[in-house]
């Protein structure tokens, strides 16, 4: 089971702070960052992204064209599965825009993020960026990373012990229910984005101007209106509902399965833990082995360590950066985790099962 690392530093071994000339300069991360910049790995890749965006738009258009041509038929469930995959690939582009990977202009990235997130997929871009930035700043840190905050899934035994029924029952069986619950992730993300826009609390209004709310809310409304109108105009009501449940369910499952391997089951830091940026990012992340197909299927998230160290690095450069980062970690005795996709899921499920252990009376702790 993954344990919580208490307060303290995470330095291991003697760090190598030498630059290319052999001089000792700056922190470990500063040395690595200079190597990455010299290799040109932070340079924008506009050609890649415009081709990627155009291809993705063609796939979305093809999916909806097939939907209209097929008409009222249960064969539409195949189209629903196709569009679930296309929606996820679109969300990956929104993710890259949120990290300023696509363009050197923040305004262009925000525009692309809102179009891919709010309009094409129906996810609140502004809400997600704010939440995701907090995760990047403090990955797997109790009370600081929103991705391990109290929710349907419990990631620490402290949160498990505070649960009461039915939350306790859910935590007890969460390893078995994890993948089925991901079928609801798409619906959860839609609702969370809407709640952030209409909420009255300080958290909802943080960094969100009235104009931003109007723009993002309008795009979300346009997506929902267009999506539901097309479904119920073309299909019989029962078919439309079936299409919606399958398409959104598979979208959530695909998206959840792409993010799940990244940090779940890796070390969790206590809320007072102190460590340097490089080790905080590397020790809490997990890479997934694979080739170009894996890169495409996971939207580059399989290079989670490199992505967390350099969030603005364009997706196609992550593969090139991996060898450099891995070698640097080896020289500085920093654990670098890499496994297969199935192996990562096994680690995630073992962690979730162990976390729920105190609620299973057949086990003694």
Q: What average pLDDT does this structure show over 87-95?
A: 98
Tens of pLDDT, residue by residue over 267-282, are 999 988 888 999 999 9
Tens of pLDDT, residue by residue over 100-148, are 999 999 999 999 999 999 999 999 999 999 999 999 999 999 999 999 9
Mean pLDDT, all residues of the chain: 90
How much is the pLDDT for 79?
A: 98
How much is the pLDDT for 358?
A: 67
How much is the pLDDT for 2?
A: 54
Decide: pTM greater than 0.85. Answer: yes
**How deeply is 106 buried, as exposed, middle or buried, from its count of CB atoms within 10 A (0-12, 13-18, 19+)?**
exposed
Tens of pLDDT, residue by residue over 3-61, are 565 555 544 444 455 555 555 567 999 999 999 999 999 999 999 999 999 999 999 99
Q: What is the DSSP letter of 2?
A: P
Burial 266-291 (b: 16+ CB within 10 A, else e): bbbbbeebebeebbbbbbbbbbbeee
How much is the pLDDT for 14?
A: 45
How much is the pLDDT for 205?
A: 46
The residues near 296 (Cβ < 8 Å, ≥ 6 apart) are: none
The residues near 5 (Cβ < 8 Å, ≥ 6 apart) are: 267, 268, 269, 270, 273
Q: What average pLDDT does this structure show over 321-346?
A: 97
**Cα 234–chain centre separation:** 33
pLDDT score of 257 more than 70 = yes
How much is the pLDDT for 13?
A: 44
How much is the pLDDT for 104?
A: 94
364 — pLDDT class (breaks 50, 70, 90): very low
Q: Which of 21-30, 156-165, 190-199, 219-228 has the highest mean pLDDT?
A: 219-228
pLDDT score of 360 more than 80 = no
Closest CA to 136 of 277, 42, 272, 336: 277
How much is the pLDDT for 324?
A: 97
């Amino acid at each position: 089971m993954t344990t919580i690392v208490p307060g303290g530093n995470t330095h291991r071994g003697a760090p190598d702070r030498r630059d290319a000339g052999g001089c000792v300069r700056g922190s470990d991360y500063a040395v690595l960052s200079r190597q990455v910049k010299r290799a040109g790995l932070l340079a924008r890749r506009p050609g890649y992204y415009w081709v990627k965006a155009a291809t993705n738009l063609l796939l979305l258009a093809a999916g909806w064209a097939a939907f209209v041509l097929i008409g009222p038929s249960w064969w539409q469930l195949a189209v629903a599965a196709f569009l679930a995959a296309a929606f996820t690939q679109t969300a990956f582009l929104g993710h890259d825009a949120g990290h300023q990977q696509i363009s050197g202009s923040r305004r262009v990235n925000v525009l692309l993020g809102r179009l891919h997130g709010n309009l094409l997929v129906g996810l609140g871009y502004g809400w997600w960026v704010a939440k995701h930035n907090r995760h990047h700043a403090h990955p797997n840190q109790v009370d600081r990373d929103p991705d391990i905050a109290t929710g349907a899934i419990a990631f620490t035994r402290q949160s498990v012990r505070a649960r009461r029924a039915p939350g306790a029952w859910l935590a007890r069986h969460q390893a078995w229910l994890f993948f089925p619950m991901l079928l609801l992730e798409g619906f959860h993300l839609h609702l969370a984005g809407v709640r952030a826009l209409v909420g009255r609390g300080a958290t909802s209004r943080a960094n969100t101007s009235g104009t931003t709310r109007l723009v993002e809310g309008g795009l979300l409304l346009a997506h929902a209106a267009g999506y539901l109108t097309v479904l119920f105009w073309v299909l019989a009501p029962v078919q439309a509902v079936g299409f919606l449940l399958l398409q959104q369910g598979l979208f959530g499952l695909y998206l959840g399965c792409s993010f799940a391997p990244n940090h779940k089951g890796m070390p969790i830091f206590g809320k007072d833990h102190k460590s340097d940026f490089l080790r905080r990012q590397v020790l809490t992340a997990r890479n997934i082995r694979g080739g170009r197909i894996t890169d495409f299927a996971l939207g580059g998230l399989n290079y989670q360590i490199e992505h967390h160290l350099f969030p603005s690095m364009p997706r196609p450069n992550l593969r090139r950066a991996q060898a450099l980062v891995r070698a640097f970690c080896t020289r500085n005795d920093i654990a670098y985790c890499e496994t297969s996709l199935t192996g990562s899921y096994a680690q995630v499920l073992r962690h979730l099962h162990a976390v729920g252990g105190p609620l299973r009376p057949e086990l003694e702790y």
